[in-house]
Structure 1
Amino acid sequence: MIDNRDNELENSNHDSSNHDDYEDICYICRRPESKVGKMIKIPNNICICSDCMQKTFDTINTNGTPYADLLNFNPSMMNFSNLQNEIPKSQKLKKKKPVEKEKEAPILDVKSIPSPHMIKAQLDDFVVGQEHAKKVISVAVYNHYKRIAAGSMDDIEIEKSNMLMIGPTGSGKTFLVKTLAKLLNVPLAITDATSLTEAGYIGDDVESVLSKLLAAADNDVERAEHGIIFIDEIDKIAKKKSTTNRDVSGESVQQGMLKLLEGSEVEVPVGATNKNAMVPLTTINTKNILFICGGAFPDLDKIIKSRLNKQSSIGFGADLKDKYDDDINILQKVTVEDLREFGMIPEFIGRLPIIYTLEGLTKDMLVKVLKEPKNAILKQYQKLLALDEVDLRFDDGALEEIAERALKKKTGARALRAIIEEFMLDIMYEIPKDENIGRVTITKDYIEHKGVPVIEMRGSIANQPILEDKNKL
């Protein structure tokens, strides 16, 4: 009995310490304690700010209730069973640290920030190719957190450098940022620009991207103000070229994001993506938040080709109009003028000073994507069959055939899984039937539907020497 009481006391102390980390929120106006001052607490863990309490008394007094009855008012006699007992944790705000503690212990230490070559080396384990993109994003993230850690040490104030990432579909834009989020211990929010509209219209407001970052930081405003936001499908908010109505999901969204990218104090709903009367609001300063925008920008290659073909002419040594038709890296020749013609307003592009492109995947790169990364697709299937004690291997010819088929689909690395799922279905279905199967080798003939995979039984491979062949999986 003594042990149980000690455990209950310890748990209650733990719960109270966790509760002390969060601010009290007014039950009526949903404003936190940091904005309205000290709260008035009534039974059932309900907090009311002094403004709302005064308004309540004024309303009761104007309705004819004698003031003497208010003096005899006892909150414990009221029935609060229908009221909310506790605000959800997703809508609670963490208390800010005292100023003295912030001076003693800085939020970020320059020495703890990994250098660019270390960030790129970790990205190399997961992302194949894209050397230029990995170098740019490593340097940008390193400089961003050095800028935050340095603060305002002298009169020179370092501006932040937001990024615009352009690349064909399936080239690894989203995967690159997701991998970066795993490597860095910072809050990161990945959102989609397709659902954003101008404030007041159906859809998510621009501030909703900050709400997702605040949720990723466990409602800690200080951590959220040093996070990273990746806005995917940024090309979907391009200015519509032929429309007579108000462009609420295109140019208006770009205009609404201008202050967000540059740095300003924004009121953000806590625990929700849109503002309403029942959601608490907090203020986030976007000055130290790094924004990374990415998009495939379809038909941007046609704009680039038309600009480059203006110099084409007839005669010996002249540039032909079909010179750039087969160039898979045509996006690397993009300029700011091309993006303006695509539909991005100049003010928006000006707040994204770092513009870089990702390479289109070639056949050799697709083969490397299949087998080299730590979480490669083939390694995932090998692990699945290893649970059945079966060794799965692929011939070099099979890998090249898979890469060639993926190139024809023109969807980048996303096509690889669709192709592998197709020919691995029968193998994953038949192998568990026979426990004597020890090894399965996928050949080019099997992928071309001209043969069957090579199956070896356990007894035939038991006496074979184990060879380490790095070229075969």
Structure 2
Amino acid sequence: MSTLTPREIVTELDKYIIGQEEAKKMVAVAMRNRWRRQQLDPELRDEIAPKNIIMMGPTGVGKTEIARRLARLANCPFLKVEATKFTEVGYVGRDVESMIRDLMEIAVNMVRKEETERVRDRAEKNAEERILDLLLPGSVPKSANNFFTLNAPDQEPPKPRDTETREKFRDMFRRGVLDEREIEIEVTSQGPQVGIMGMPGMEDVGMQMQDMMGKMFPGQKKPRKMRVRDAYETLVDEEADKLIDMDKVADQARERVEQGGIIFVDEVDKIAARQDRQGGADVSREGVQRDLLPIVEGCVVNTKHGMVKTDHILFIGAGAFHYSKPSDLIPELQGRFPLREELHALGKDEFYRILTEPKNALTVQYKALLETEGIAIDYTKEALEEISAMAQQVNEETENIGARRLYTLMEKILADLSFDAPERMGQSVSIDREYVRERLGDVVEDRDLSRFIL
């Protein structure tokens, strides 16, 4: 779990997200509280529940990006889901508990990747020995299961290794001389793929059935010819799998989910039932909230990796709340999201900063993309100011989609240059205000046209 202070967390978020200072501070404190909780005595630690958050604001202002960057900083399991994908039990849609199973899968893959890196040196050594045994057949007797098992007493003694020849082959292998040579290795083929049709809301039953069928019909070993360099990577993965204890991986993953997991529930406003209307779609929306409630409050969910407690998972809800408000959620659910922050709409000043300040700014991305074709582009300050002003104008006159409008404008501005790039290798192009107006002026001024194009 991250040991960054709240100020350090905000500083890291500032590298990618412009503005929204209060929201950044709120999530930074929430993340630091997770670290603080781990320093307490176990008896008190279990009593401290996470302070779940609702972020309100129009699309494209940074709600999802804040949560995503926060999860990377914390190095913890993170899942983004849309509340509209879920329905109450009995209706067509996903079961709410599936979000915990998905989060557990993410954690297992995360821990497994870390364990693979930890044992990679040993796996590479073992794979190298197997490659050399295949290149020099007969130097080591093979058994059915392992290339390196000792002979039983009734077997013939192993032939002595030709150490000098083996070391020569080892040197050639490490220098890549043997990369293109073909060898035959045994690879595990997948067992029969059996499709299990799960009932709506019971997807986990189908997954468990598929897992059980996979154990009943394991993959078979079959010979396959491969180039040495491809065979080496295959054998490294195989050896790493042998060295990893998957029970230990599952235990570590479960601990990470229970103590540090983050679930970002987007479009929470879409499941809020209006207080002045009862019936129809509002009944189903309220049903989703009631199914979501025990997950947020804390319960135990059955996954194929074991039982997972949700008591200390941090939930971050987000939504535009144009046609509803947080008070339209059922009171019990409101109480489980005590922290709320409104993110502000972005204007031309923020758009200019978005184009110039972040490490992954759009201007940096497009410049790097065109450099692959040998084209050097640079942007004048006036051009970026013009793009920012146009983004604000289009957002005001059509739908306000926040910073996502910049993607549309930048793509429109550079469309011709991107298309002609292979024929213009070696050129330098300056994107100035006139260049921007030439490609966007008519579209921005024609409101009807801008609704379709921008």
Structures share fold, TM-score greater than 0.5 = yes
C-alpha contact 1:113 1:146 (8 A) present in aligned 2? no
Please give the TM-score of this superposition, normalised by the length of structure 2.
0.60
Match for residue 231 of structure 1 among 265, 288, 298 = 265
Does residue 212 (structure 1) correspond to residue 197 (structure 2)? The answer is: no
Which structure exhibits the higher relative contact order, with contacts defined as CA atoms closer than 8 Å and separated by 6 or more residues? 2
Query: How far 1:150 sits from its partner (Å)?
Result: 2.1
C-alpha contact 2:263 2:315 (8 A) present in aligned 1? yes
Hey, what's the Cα distance between the residues in 1 that align with 2:439 and 2:85?
46
Amino acid at match of 1:124: D
Residue segments in structure 2 that go unaligned for 5+ positions in a row: 109-249, 442-454
Query: How far 1:147 sits from its partner (Å)?
Result: 1.4
C-alpha contact 1:214 1:221 (8 A) present in aligned 2? yes
Aligned to 1:252: 287
Amino acid at match of 2:299: S
> Secondary structure of the equivalent of 2:42?
coil
Query: How far 1:283 sits from its partner (Å)?
Result: 2.0
Hey, what's the Cα distance between the residues in 2 that align with 1:155 and 1:384?
49
Amino acid at match of 2:437: E
> Secondary structure of the equivalent of 1:392?
strand
Aligned to 2:377: 392
**CA distance 1:265–1:451, change in 2 (3 Å):** closer
Does residue 263 (structure 1) correspond to residue 298 (structure 2)? The answer is: yes
Match for residue 290 of structure 1 among 307, 314, 318 = 314
Note the 1:344-423 alignment, pairs <5 A: 344-407=329-392, 408-409=394-395, 410-423=400-413
Match for residue 443 of structure 1 among 432, 444, 449 = 432
Q: Deviations over 1:92-114 (max 9, x none)?
A: xxxxxxxxxxxxxxxx6xxx622
C-alpha contact 2:374 2:426 (8 A) present in aligned 1? no
Aligned to 2:136: none
Aligned to 1:432: 422
Does residue 179 (structure 1) correspond to residue 213 (structure 2)? The answer is: no
Amino acid at match of 1:196: F
Query: How far 1:246 sits from its partner (Å)?
Result: 7.0
Hey, what's the Cα distance between the residues in 1 that align with 2:26 and 2:403?
21
**CA distance 1:154–1:242, change in 2 (3 Å):** closer
- Number of aligned residue pairs: give it: 291
Amino acid at match of 2:48: I
RMSD after superposition: 2.3
**CA distance 1:385–1:450, change in 2 (3 Å):** closer
Query: How far 1:425 sits from its partner (Å)?
Result: 0.7
Residue segments in structure 1 that go unaligned for 5+ positions in a row: 1-107, 271-280, 301-337, 453-473
**CA distance 1:160–1:449, change in 2 (3 Å):** same
> By percentage of residues, which structure has more helix?
2
Amino acid at match of 1:299: Y
Which deviates further from its counterpart, 243-252 or 223-232?
A: 243-252
Query: How far 1:429 sits from its partner (Å)?
Result: 1.9
Hey, what's the Cα distance between the residues in 1 that align with 2:38 and 2:84?
30
**Identical counterparts, % of pairs:** 38
**CA distance 1:199–1:145, change in 2 (3 Å):** farther
Hey, what's the Cα distance between the residues in 1 that align with 2:265 and 2:288?
12
Does residue 202 (structure 1) correspond to residue 92 (structure 2)? The answer is: yes
* Larger Rg belongs to: 1
**CA distance 1:207–1:155, change in 2 (3 Å):** closer
Note the 1:151-190 alignment, pairs <5 A: 151-154=41-44, 157-190=47-80
